[in-house]
Amino acid sequence: MAVGVFDSGLGGLTVLDAVTKRLPDVPFVYYGDNAHAPYGVRDADDVYNLTTKAVSRLWEEGCDLVILACNTASAAALRRMQESWIPTNKRVLGVFVPLIEALTERNWGDNSPPREVAVRDVALFATPATVASRAFQRELAFRAIGVDVEAQACGGVVDAIEDGDMILAEALVRSHVDALHRKMPKPQAAILGCTHYPLMASAFQSALGPDVKVYSQANIVAESLADYLTRHPNMIGNGSVSKFLTTGDAARVSSRATQFLKRQITFEKA
């Protein structure tokens, strides 16, 4: 009855931590493609090929449902996967839609026409590949009208987090927020469009100021997953053991993950 959680590196651990707390009886298999991280600087075909390989590996672990806890994969690969690759007895879900539903205050499955919402000026902080895909703006347009989105590609932040250099990551966050402010001086809301970024949520909030509501994905995705599994209990696969898999150096990744989650995490070679 396992569910798969995939990320290009360690950022998806923020989602994993939230979903395991929300669904403590569900085993989760986490797959980090650390050998190829970060995805945010790769082209769409490369991201697609790496993502499908990872998802196939999670299916082998008995995870019929896989969460792409990677915004770049959700933006650059998910639609193509859903249209031509995923078999009918499997599901792969991204992390954009729950975030947009929270921003626009729409319930899961609300297919009514797009409408005006309270938030008008939104800052999107994401990887270069996610920004280039415009997937966030496309999904938002299905649900809301009149929302101005200013996207800021946050080069270097994921690399700094993966390397454990949080001082550099914080400096980069301040630099990217400054760049965003030059384009949109007074955003009402900010989307942290990368699952690494919740680790820097306080830095984003500090740089943006107290009047900006910062939307982070982990808890939002956890609630959406709980709702989805309530409606689709058959999508919990036959896997029964929680585990952590990585394409990178298992010892090094385990050490970093333990630092991030502040509990012992042991990765196996994928």
Structure tokens at 139: 């999904």
SS3 209: coil
Q: Taking the CA atoms of the chain, what radius of gyration do you get in angstroms?
A: 18
In which region does residue 43 sit, left (phi positive, over 0), alpha (psi from -120 to 50) or beta (all else)? beta
Q: Are 135 and 95 in contact (CB under 8 A)?
A: no
Tokens 């990178």 — which residue?
248
* Separation of alpha carbons 219 and 257, rounded Å: 19
* Separation of alpha carbons 103 and 191, rounded Å: 9
Domain 3-95+218-269 matches domain 97-216 at the CATH topology level = yes
Instruction: Judge whether 63 counts as a catalytic residue.
Output: no
Structure tokens at 129: 């590949």
Per DSSP (E only), the strands in 108-188 are: 115-116, 121-126, 144-145, 148-153
List the catalytic residue out of 2, 122, 194, 208. Answer: 194
- Bridge partners of 67, per DSSP, are 5, 93
In which band, very low, low, confident or very high, does the pLDDT at 4 lie, cut at 50, 70 and 90?
A: very high
Instruction: Judge whether 70 counts as a catalytic residue.
Output: yes
SS3 268: strand
User: Which pTM value belongs to this model?
Assistant: 0.87
Domain ranges of the chain: 3-95+218-269, 97-216
pLDDT value at residue 189: 96
**Tens digits of residue pLDDT in 99-142:** 888 888 887 667 788 999 999 999 999 999 889 999 899 989 98
Above 70 in pLDDT, residue 12?
yes
Q: How many helices (H) and strands (E) does the chain have?
A: 12, 12
Above 70 in pLDDT, residue 1?
no
* Separation of alpha carbons 263 and 173, rounded Å: 26
List the catalytic residue out of 18, 70, 131, 222. Answer: 70
Mean pLDDT for the chain?
A: 92
Above 80 in pLDDT, residue 253?
yes
pLDDT value at residue 236: 81
- Give phi and psi for 242, each to the nearest 5: -75, 140
**Tens digits of residue pLDDT in 220-230:** 999 999 999 99
Structure tokens at 44: 């769409």
CATH number of 3-95+218-269: 3.40.50.1860
Fold that domain 97-216 belongs to in CATH: Rossmann fold (3.40.50)
> Kind and range of the H or E element at 141?
helix 135-141
Tokens 């333990």 — which residue?
258
